[in-house]
A and B are shown apart, each in its own frame.
Chain A
Amino acid sequence: MPTLRRALAAAAVAALVLPLGACGSGDGGGGSTDASGKVEGDITFQTWNLRANFKPYFEGVVADFEKKYPDTKVKWIDQPAEGYADKISADAAGGTLPDVVNVSPDLVAPLAKAGLALDLDKAASSYRKEYLDGAWASHRIPGMTGTYAFPWYLNTGPLFYNKTLFERAGLDADRPPTTYDDLFAQALRLARETGGKVATLANVPTVEDFGRYGVQLMNKEGTGFAFNDAKGVELLTKYKELYDAKALDPQALTATPESSGKKFLTGAVAMNPGSALDLGNFKKQAPGLYKNIGITDQITSTGHVNMYVMGVMVNSRTKHTAASVAFAHFVTDAQRQMSFAKKVAIFPSTAGSLDDPYFTEQDGTDETRVRVAAAKSLKNAVNYTPVLFSEQMKSALRNEVAKALQGKETPKAALDNAVKACDTLLRQQG
C-alpha cells in the first residue's frame, strides 16, 4: 500500500510539475489564423467520451471528410468523460493539444485566454449564419472579443419522477410539480409521509439551479459574481428547509450526478433531472421504475430551461489551419448534426434543424414525447453555466452551500462568502 500511495503522490507531483518542462515548447510552431488555404494535411480530432457508443458514426464522418478532401487524413481519438479537463490541460500545457477538440464553453475559456483556441469570428465568420445565434454566442468569453468554438450538439432534458413514490405519499402522480413552490411543498410532504425515508431531491443547488430560479449570476460587465442577492438567499433557505426535513437526501452534500442517478434507480429518491438518454437506461436497469416513470418539464422561474452546449474548437497552433477549420465545420454542419441527433438523444445547434419533423411530430412513444418537448424548450433555452465558472469556483460554491445546509452559516453569509471566493478566483484567472 505505501508503494501505491507513493506512486499516487509521485503522479500528483508529476502532474504539478509537468507543465513546467513543456511551457517553452508551445510558443514555437505557431499556426496561422488564415483558414483560406488548401485543405490538406494530417489532423487529429478529439471527442469527449463518444467512442463507446458511436464508433461507426464517427468513422463514417471521418471517411466522408477524407473523401471530400483527398489530401487530408483525420486521426480520431476519444477521451473518457472523467478527467477530461485534466487531459486537455496536460495536453495544452505540453503542446500536444489535438488540432480539433470537442469542448464545452467553460473548458474553452481558459484555452482561449492562453491563446490556444482559434478565433472563429476571424477564421470562419462565413459559417456563422449556419448556426443558431444563441449557440454561436455560447463560446464567447466575457472580457475577450471573438468566438472560440463551433457550436455542436445541445442537450437538455426533462425531470423524471417516480410515480409509485408520489402515490404512496398521497400525491397525485399525474400532476407533478410545475413551480418551485409546488416542488418544495410536495417534497416536504413526501418526506413527512415516509418518515424521512424518501427524499425528493438528491443534489445540492448548483450554479445552474440558481440561474433557473431567476438569480442573476454575474454582474452585467461579467467582472464579478452576484448570486448572493435576495433571490439566491431565498432559494438556499428553501433548500435548507428541505435538508432539515430529509426531503433533500442526507447524502446530498457529497453526492455526484452518478450517485444521485443511482439513488433514483433504486427508489431512494423520487425525482431526478435527466435526458431522453436515461429512458433506455431505466428500461434496462430498473424495469419496475420504468413502468411507473413520470416525465415532466424542468422547473424554472424564468421560463427558460437550462441547456448544455458542446462545441468544437480549433487549436490555434495547428499546422493545418485550413483543414482543421474545415473539419470542425464539417462535424458540426447541419447534415452531420442531424444524422448524429437521430442516433442519440441530442439536439442540433444548426439553424432550422429543430423544425425538422423528427423534432416536432409525436408518434406515441415516450422517447418521442421527451424529444419533441425538449426540442421545443430548446428554442429559448439558456446555458446558465457562466463561461468563466471554473472547477475551483464550483467547489467553493458547493462548500458554502453545504455549510448553510448544515446550519453552520446563514444562507446569506454562505452566499456572500461564495461570491467573495469566486471573485477572488476570477481575478486570479487573469
Chain B
Amino acid sequence: MASPTAPAPTTRVRRQLPTSPWLFAAPGLLIVGVFILYPFLSTLVNSFTDRRTLLPGRYVGLANFRELLHDDMFWIGLRNSTLYVLGVVPALVVLPLLLALLVRKNIPGITFFRSAFYTPVVASIVVVGLIWVWLLDERGLVNAVLEAVGVGRVGFLSDQWLLLISAMAVTVWKGLGYYMIIYLAALANVPRELHEAAAVDGAGAVRRFLSVTVPAVRSTMVLVGALSSVAAFKVFSEVYLMAGPSGGPAGEDTTLVMLVQRTGTGLTGRVGYASALSVVVFVVTVALMLLVLRADRKDES
C-alpha cells in the first residue's frame, strides 16, 4: 500500500502523445461500435421503416409504433414481461441472500454445497429447460408424484398461467447461485464487530439479520434488483423452451422478446415492426433501471 509519505518514483516516464489514450481504447471502442452501437442505431432507423427480411423498406414515420398500440400480441407480451419482473425479481433479491447466509460459514463440506447451488448457473439453459419440460410434462415425474399422493395431474405445461409460473420458477432456480456469489462477496465485508455488539445487546438471529446484515448489503440488493429486473424483462429462453415456439396456448405466454423474434425472423420477417418492438423493450428496460436506482436514492435520504 502506498502511503502519502512514500518517495516519488525515480524512473522518468516519457511524456505521452495526446492520442495514446485513444489508441489504448481503440480495440474496445471498435468492438463496442461494431457490435453494440451500430446494431443499436440501425435498429432505431429500421423501426421507422416497413423493411422486411428480403425487401428494402420505406420510411413510414411512426406507423409501426401506432400499429403496436392496436396489436393484441404486443399487449400480451408487455403484460407477460412485466409479470415476469414482478414475479422473479423479489425472489431473486431475497432468496440468494438467505442462501448466501446459509453457506457463508466455513464448516467442513460447505464447498460442496456452494458448488451445488452454483451448478444451475453453469448449466446450459437449453438442457435445463428440456429437463424441466420432461419433469413437468403431463406424464412427467412431478405429475406422477402428484398423482401417487392423490392430488391428481396438474397441467403445468398446458395452462397459460401455470406455464408462466413454471418458467419463472426455472429462472429463479437457475439464477439463485449467481446472485448468491454476489451476496457472499458483500457479506464478507460486514464487520463482525457489529454482529457481536448486537448479540451482546441481546438481539436474536432474526433481529441481527434485519438490523445488521440487511442494511450492510442494501446496496448489493439494489444491484441485484437492477440486474435481475432487466434480465427478467428481456426473458426469452425459459418461456420459449417451456411454452414452445408458439408461446403457450393461443400465444398467451409470449414475452416481448419472443414477439420480436417471431415477427422479425424468417424469410417473411417484418424487420421494421420487430425493430419498433425492440425499441420499446429498450425504453422500458432503461426506465426499469432508473426506477430501481431512484428507489435506492430515496431510501438513503
- The residues of A with any CB-CB pair to B shorter than 8 Å are 1-2, 4-6, 8-10, 12-17, 19-21, 23, 85-86, 88-89, 92-93, 107, 110-111, 113-114, 116, 250-251, 253-256, 259, 266, 268, 390-392, 395, 398-400, 402-403, 406, 408, 425, 428-430
16 contacts between A and B (CB under 8 A): A1-B125, A5-B125, A12-B236, A15-B265, A16-B39, A16-B43, A20-B45, A23-B56, A110-B267, A111-B267, A251-B157, A254-B246, A254-B248, A268-B139, A399-B250, A408-B250
Greatest chain B CB density within 10 A among A4, A20, A256, A395 is at A20
A114 to B45, CA, bound (A): 22
Whether A254 and B249, one on each chain, are in contact in the complex, defined by CB atoms closer than 8 angstroms, is yes
A250 to chain B, nearest CB (A): 5
Whether A89 and B250, one on each chain, are in contact in the complex, defined by CB atoms closer than 8 angstroms, is no
Q: Could you list 12 further interchain pairs (A-B, Cβ under 8 angstroms) beyond the known A2-B175, A12-B261, A402-B250?
A: A2-B178, A2-B231, A16-B46, A16-B260, A17-B46, A89-B265, A250-B155, A251-B138, A254-B248, A268-B139, A390-B266, A406-B250
A113 to chain B, nearest CB (A): 7
Binds A, one of B7-15, B79-87, B205-213, B237-245: B237-245
B30-49 vs A, Cβ < 8 Å mask (1 yes, 0 no): 00000100111011011000
Q: Does B53 belong to the interface (CB within 8 Å)?
A: yes
A251 to B121, CA, bound (A): 29
Q: Does B219 belong to the interface (CB within 8 Å)?
A: no
Residues on B with beta carbons closer than 8 Å to the beta carbon of A390:
266-268
- The residues of B with any CB-CB pair to A shorter than 8 Å are 35, 38-40, 42-43, 45-46, 50-56, 121, 125, 137-139, 155, 157-158, 163, 174-175, 178, 227-228, 231, 234-237, 243-246, 248-251, 257, 260-271, 274-275, 278
Whether A110 and B250, one on each chain, are in contact in the complex, defined by CB atoms closer than 8 angstroms, is no
Residues on B with beta carbons closer than 8 Å to the beta carbon of A256:
244-245
Overall SS of chain A's interface = helix
Whether B158 and A254, one on each chain, are in contact in the complex, defined by CB atoms closer than 8 angstroms, is yes
Q: Within the complex, which residue of B125, B227, B249, B263 is in contact with A406, where a contact is CB–CB below 8 Å?
A: B249
A412 to B33, CA, bound (A): 51
Whether A429 and B268, one on each chain, are in contact in the complex, defined by CB atoms closer than 8 angstroms, is yes
Whether A2 and B264, one on each chain, are in contact in the complex, defined by CB atoms closer than 8 angstroms, is no
Please judge, given known A-B contacts A16-B43, A89-B265, whether A1 and B53 are in contact too, CB under 8 Å: no
* Chain B residue with Cβ nearest A20: B42
Q: Within the complex, which residue of A16, A114, A395, A398 is in contact with B271, where a contact is CB–CB below 8 Å?
A: A16
Residues on B with beta carbons closer than 8 Å to the beta carbon of A255:
244
Whether B246 and A395, one on each chain, are in contact in the complex, defined by CB atoms closer than 8 angstroms, is yes
Q: Within the complex, which residue of A250, A253, A430 is in contact with B55, where a contact is CB–CB below 8 Å?
A: A430
Residues on A with beta carbons closer than 8 Å to the beta carbon of B43:
13, 16-17
